Amino acid sequence: MARELIDNTACEVVERLRSGAISPLDCLDALEARIAAVDGAVNALPTLCLDRARDHARRLMDKPPSARGVLAGLPVPIKDLTEVAGVRTTYGSPIYADFVPSASDILVETLESEGGVIYAKSNTPEFGAGANTFNEVFGATRNPWNTALSCAGSSGGAAVSLATGMAWVAHGSDMGGSLRNPASFCGVVGLRPSPGRVATDPGAKIDRLLGVEGPMARNVEDCALLLDAMTGESPADPISLPRSQSFLAAARSGWKPARVAFSADLGITPVDPEVAAICRAAAYRFAELGAVVEDAHPDLSEAHDTFQVLRAMSFASGHAENLRKHRDKLKPEIVWNIERGLEYTMADVVRAENQRSAMLKRMNGFFDRYDLLLCPATITAAFPVEQRYLAECAGHRFDNYVEWLAIVYAITLTTAPALSLPCGFTKDGRPVGLQIVARPRGEGRLLAGARALEEVLGAAIRTPIDPRTP
């Protein structure tokens, strides 16, 4: 039964859990066997907490299936930037290599209250920085479509665990594309929700709008299912939003967009020509659903300056103490980002905030005309795992280690929810993701539109793959 269970979708597994056909323990047994079979090749889930998971599963089984929450006992891995009580949480940093928190993040408590069973921590780059999943604690996570390649990041372990069947759904987080980039590289679905949709511990900046928590899965419905289990407000997170609807029901609603816009580059970044062509072909298939498809994008020209300032300020506020005490243990890209944040002036911050406000207004105006905005989720397909980041694309050399992420971080700045949907493969077999963007707080229509296109494209992983070694 183990392999059959692994091949099920998350929604199918939850239905079987609710009917009593299987138990959460059956799910954990299947995952343990799958992890033993494939994780050695990809290094996606370096920390397991199966004893803790089985204890939780048994407590859930004392309740009737109808009282076990949205997930009903479905196992969920947590990204190693988020604390789980009693489970090693390293943030991918040697500074925290042996850290075991005594309390869980709000997000984890929410998931567990909805029947999510936490069984593993997924690998991430140090403090989530760099969009390539490697660190000095656990090493590199490899792309299952070709283990010589990067799985992107920072939710790289999460994406790889999904593609290989070590998870049915997975938690991730996103500031500069950290849910969307690995989803694109690994052929899965990653959704960055609107800020506040998922409550979490605020950290150093309680009014943050850049970093959010969100779901990943192998298909749109499963992604919506996990979002349902993640949402809800908490008094400990002052920007959190109340649970307002079933996102799974929204995904299944049958809504289709009337008018969508496609842009290969959002007017701000180079894009690999093959990736651009694959995404354009996928986007224009919305016409088969009756939508008008046009080439257009909002003005996001200030995105580079705005994101560089606000990201650096975020790193400075969160990690200045680590720089002071543990500079020798931080990777050079993080040192650069913290120092840059400490060097910016109040005038820089004022300029960045004003620019972000202007982009938000223009984005909302854009959505008065279009239902969805489409573009590549990542400007390239997967590159060699040893390459720390993408240094150049289409003849353009980037100024720093995050500029290659502009096509996703520009959307981050507008607070709009965005999803990476598998939309095809390069000629040499690397997955490509299409970024689908909706109006801020428009996750319902985003999921419905993505599900409709998913059916047309047929590019989602039907069953997990075994890691492929070149």
d(CA 231, CA 225): 10
Question: What is the pLDDT at residue 359?
Answer: 98
Question: What is the pLDDT at residue 149?
Answer: 98
Label residue 170 by pLDDT band (50, 70, 90): very high
Label residue 14 by pLDDT band (50, 70, 90): very high
pLDDT of 1 higher than 90: no
Mean pLDDT of the 68-83 span: 98
pLDDT of 206 higher than 90: no
Which CATH code of 3.40.50.1010, 3.90.1300.10, 3.40.50.2300, 1.10.10.410 fits the domain covering 2-457?
Answer: 3.90.1300.10
Q: Quickly count: other Cβ atoms within 10 Å of residue 239's Cβ.
A: 16
d(CA 168, CA 71): 11
Mean pLDDT of the 60-82 span: 97
Question: What is the pLDDT at residue 191?
Answer: 99
Question: What is the pLDDT at residue 469?
Answer: 94
pLDDT tens for 123-151 read: 999 999 999 999 999 999 999 999 999 99
d(CA 337, CA 331): 10
Could you tell me the sign of the dihedral formed by the alpha carbons of 16, 17, 22, 26, in that order?
A: positive
Question: What is the pLDDT at residue 2?
Answer: 83
Question: What is the pLDDT at residue 221?
Answer: 98
Q: Quickly count: other Cβ atoms within 10 Å of residue 407's Cβ.
A: 26
CB 436, CB 465: distance < 8 Å:
no
Which residues contact residue 8 at a Cβ distance below 8 angstroms, ignoring those fewer than 6 apart? 16, 168
237: β partners: 234
> Which residues are designated catalytic?
79, 154, 178
pLDDT tens for 339-377 read: 999 999 999 999 999 999 999 999 999 999 999 999 999
Question: What is the pLDDT at residue 204?
Answer: 78
Label residue 103 by pLDDT band (50, 70, 90): very high
Question: What is the pLDDT at residue 207?
Answer: 84
pLDDT tens for 388-422 read: 999 999 999 999 999 999 999 999 999 999 999 99
Q: At what angle do helices 220-230 and 443-457 cross, to 10 degrees?
A: 160
Could you tell me the sign of the dihedral formed by the alpha carbons of 254, 375, 181, 355, in that order?
A: negative
pLDDT tens for 49-68 read: 999 999 999 999 999 988 99
Mean pLDDT of the 225-232 span: 98
Question: What is the pLDDT at residue 205?
Answer: 79
Q: Which of 263, 329, 303, 272 is nearest to 95 (CA)?
A: 329
- Domain ranges within the chain, ordered by starting residue: 2-457
Mean pLDDT of the 223-229 span: 98
pLDDT tens for 308-326 read: 999 999 999 999 999 999 9
Mean pLDDT of the 380-387 span: 98
Name the average pLDDT for the chain: 97
Question: What is the pLDDT at residue 34?
Answer: 98
CB 234, CB 104: distance < 8 Å:
no
